[in-house]
Amino acid sequence: MNKAITDSGPPIHLNETGYIQLLKVFDTLLVPMHVKEELLDFGIWHCLIKDEAVHLQEATIFDDEITEEQDRWKDLTLHRADVSVLVLVSRMGNALALTDDLALRKAIESLGRAVVGSVGIIIRGYREKMLSKDELHKCVDLLFDDSSIILLFASKTSQECSPEYNMGNPTMKR
C-alpha cells in the first residue's frame, strides 16, 4: 500500500494552486492530529475529506511523545505539528513523509527516511498521468507564483520539470 504521512504544507500549497487532487497519488494519507488542527485552521481539511479518492487516516499523538521528540530535536525550530509528524515517522515502518518545511525535512532525512514535498508530489502526479506536460508546467508555475511555499533549492525552468527528475535527489537537472 502506498502510504504517506503528511505535514500541513503540501495540502495547503497544492490547494493554493488548485491541484489538491494530486494527493491521490497516495492510497492513504496519515494525518497526525496536530496537523489536522492546522488544516482545519487553514480551511483545507474539508477539501481533503470531500474527495473520497483520498483515504485519510488520523493519528493520535500523545503529549509525552511530543515532549520526548521536542527534546530530541531542540536544535531545530519545529512546531507541535512538525514534531507530531516526526513521532509518526518513527512509528511507521516505511511510509513516505510529505513536507515543505526545511527543518522538518532535515530531521526526517537524518532518520534515514524518505521525504517528498509539493514539487515531488506534482512530479509523481505527472508520472502517474494525472497531469499532462502542459498541466505539469502550469502547476509548477502556480506553485511558484500563487502559493505561500518558499522554494530554496529550485528555480523555475521547464527543464527542471522533466520526467527525468530524480525524486531522491533535491538538485534538479539542468
| pLDDT tens column, 11-38 | 999 998 899 999 999 999 999 999 999 9
The CATH number of residue 98's host domain is 3.40.50.1010
Range of the domain at 144: 1-174
Q: How confident is the model at residue 52 (pLDDT cuts 50, 70, 90)?
A: low
User: What domain count does the chain have?
Assistant: 1
Give the phi and the psi of residue 76 in degrees, each rounded to 5. Answer: -105, 150
pTM over 0.85: no
Judge whether residue 81 has pLDDT over 60. Answer: yes
